[in-house]
Amino acid sequence: MREPRTERHAPEWQIWAALGIVYVVWGSTYLAIRVVVETMPPLLTAGTRHVSAAVIMAVLLAAGGRRTSLRLSRAEWLGAGFVGLALLLGGNGLVMLGEREVPSALAALLVAVVPLWVVVLRRVFGERVALGTALGVVAGFAGVAFLIVPQGLGGSVALGGMLMVVLAGLSWSIGSYISKRIELPHDPLVSTGAQMLVGGAGLLIVGALAGEFGLARFEDFSAGSLLALLYLVVFGSVIAYTAYTWALVHASVSRVSTYAYVNPVVAMVLGWALLNEVIDLTMLVGAALIIVSVGLVIRTESRLTQPTGALEASPAASEAVIEAEGDPTVSRQA
């Protein structure tokens, strides 16, 4: 079991600046993905994103004098590789595929239930779950059903695309759950880089096997898609995760985990404002159910763990959430 994390003092404005980056950037990645997949192959693009981000992080770590931390054992590579494939190949890859047909705001809401999936996994593997947590899970999945049934069965949004996004959340939750129970690199940035490298390579391989290289034509890539990809690499995968990791050191997990219910709101507003996505009453009700349920789970788990002083507390509620599209950071998740 990991040692409890001790918070370090930092000015409030710095903490809120870091959280603001996480709120806005991770909330905006769904919109960026939607723009990317308009003209670019989803799996190959996702693989390029994560491999590029891994290389950038390795260079930054080496430049910062942390070259020795890049030397991983076989067990650490295996652990990071498994988690990276679950988070990025299964999680991010399915979001990329799903968002070809699913609006970014709706995708963000369907992904927001990742903390609830983790609770389900905890129960499946025999862990006891508090009543408040269980009620939050039920309410959250009711919100998912409220979103899928009228829109998917009604034909306004492709049911297959929505199911891909739901499965993406499940895959991300599996990676998040397992990450707490296997050996990973001790440095969180190194761990994230290794996960992105393996997961990104997996996306490139599956994309190639799916024939995406034959479909990719650079001349067809729009400027918007290319800029969105660059944004995902630099801001979504490098800057936002660094801010998240820093915030975890200087603030409580329960405070940092507020991004879990802020990100979907940011995604909805951006999708409506920049992509003219429709936000109807069904989405508002579903969003309210999901966001409130995630908040209930996080608050319940936080109250149960705070007396022990174990600030790492419920990874289910705080660290397993998907950056708007299932970003790459195991402990954040990214």
Checking if the pLDDT of 313 tops 50, the result is no
Q: Taking residues 153-169, what's their average pLDDT? A: 87
Confidence of residue 216 (pLDDT cuts 50, 70, 90): confident
Checking if the pLDDT of 267 tops 70, the result is yes
Distance CA 65, CA 82 (A): 27
Checking if the pLDDT of 31 tops 60, the result is yes
pLDDT of residue 17: 94
- Of 54-58, 300-304, 314-318, which gets the smallest average pLDDT? 314-318
Q: Taking residues 275-293, what's their average pLDDT? A: 91
Query: Which pTM does this prediction carry?
Result: 0.85
Mean residue pLDDT across the chain: 85
- Of 54-63, 155-164, 229-238, which gets the smallest average pLDDT? 155-164
Which of 26-30, 123-127, 312-316: highest mean pLDDT?
Answer: 26-30
Dihedral sign from CA coordinates of 316, 319, 323, 329: negative
pLDDT of residue 56: 95
pLDDT of residue 306: 52
Each residue of 12-21: pLDDT tens digit?
A: 889 999 999 9
More confident residue, 324 or 271: 271
Checking if the pLDDT of 126 tops 60, the result is yes
* Percentage of the chain exceeding pLDDT 90: 55
Domain spans of the chain, in order of start = 12-318
